[in-house]
Structure 1
Amino acid sequence: MSGPDTTRILQNPKFRELVSERTRFGWVLSGVMLGIYLGFVLLVAFAKGFLAMKIGAGVTSLGILLGVAVILSAFVLTGIYVQRANGRFDDLTRDLNRDLAR
């Protein structure tokens, strides 16, 4: 890609909007995942008795269930990102491509 083309893309307001929205959304989801993971680690460090509580017939502990919830939350957050990427981000990319084709 040549210099003028690169400059034209970087100065396009729709490109800036796309980059800004995508970056902000990525940081928000990263922060949520970090909070979930940090909360779990803090529980492991400071509330071992709480995590050792047996659930139901005593086969599974609360810690196991919360660990599975941490893993599932990563899948859910990934799904949320994919949903946004296939919707809003694709729309912004399509608009940007139309703008640049002129």
Structure 2
Amino acid sequence: MSQTSQTTATDQAVQRIQNNPAYQRLRSKRNAFAWVLTILMLVVYYGYVGLIAFDKELLAKPIGTGVTTLGMPIGLGVILFTVVITGIYVYRANTEFDAITERILKDAAQ
């Protein structure tokens, strides 16, 4: 197969995928889900930064009689939240999104 005919075949396959309604739904679903997670992450992260900027006294309050302040568990919560939403995205991508992608690729190959 020559380079030109191979490029044409690839272009046609890409066009078939882009015209597939399932691909359009996948893109829409995946983008909406990613935006929701992004907004949640921004709210949590900038909420924490906002607390640092505007309510240092709250974060500086000691927990119990030790030296650990309230800011430490809240900061840890931000980190754990990041890990959890990453896990949620990976789980959904590996189950739902990958299954749809596989069906779209099979349809395009026909």
Q: TM-score surpassing 0.5?
A: yes
Runs of 4+ in 1 over 6 A off after TM superposition: none
| Equivalent position SS for 2:102 | helix
Aligned length: 102
For structure 2, the residue ranges without an aligned partner over 5 or more in a row are: 1-6
Separation in 1 of the partners of 2:107 and 2:27?
Answer: 16
User: How is 1:8-47 mapped onto 2 (pairs within 5 angstroms)?
Assistant: 8-47=16-55
Distance 1:86 1:62 in 2: 36
- Structure 1, unaligned runs of 5 or more: none
Q: What letter is aligned with 1:57?
A: T
TM-score, normalised to structure 1's length? 0.92
1:100 aligns to 2:108 (yes or no) = yes
1:68 is aligned, of 59, 72, 76, to: 76
Identify which range, 73-82 or 53-62, moves more after superposition: 53-62
Larger radius of gyration: 2
- The share of aligned pairs that are identical, in percent, is 46
TM-score of the superposition, structure 2-length normalised? 0.85
Q: Secondary structure at the match of 1:60?
A: coil
